[in-house]
Amino acid sequence: MTSRLQNKYALITGGFAGIGLETAKQFCLEGACVAITGRSEAGLERAQSYLGENLGKNAVTIQSDAADIQQQQALADKIKTQFPRLDVIYINAGDVTHKPFNEWEEADFDRVMNTNLKGPFFLIRALLPLLSDSASVILCGSVSAQIGLPQSSVYAASKAGLISLARTLSGELKHLGIRVNTLSPGPTLTEAFDKFGLPENEQEALINQVKELVPLKRLGTPLELAKAAVFLASDESSYMLGSELLIDGGVGNL
Q: Is 50 a catalytic residue?
A: no
Cα separations (Å) of 238 from 18, 125, 134?
26, 22, 8
User: Can you list the alpha helix ranges (DSSP code H) found in 118-173?
Assistant: 119-127, 153-173
Among 9, 50, 90, 155, the one annotated catalytic: 155
How many Å apart are CA 82 and CA 87, to the nearest integer?
13
Cα separations (Å) of 14 from 4, 5, 128, 215, 216?
22, 20, 19, 28, 27
DSSP class of 220: B
Pairing of strands 9-13, 86-91: parallel
How many Å apart are CA 83 and CA 8, to the nearest integer?
10
Residues recognised as catalytic:
155
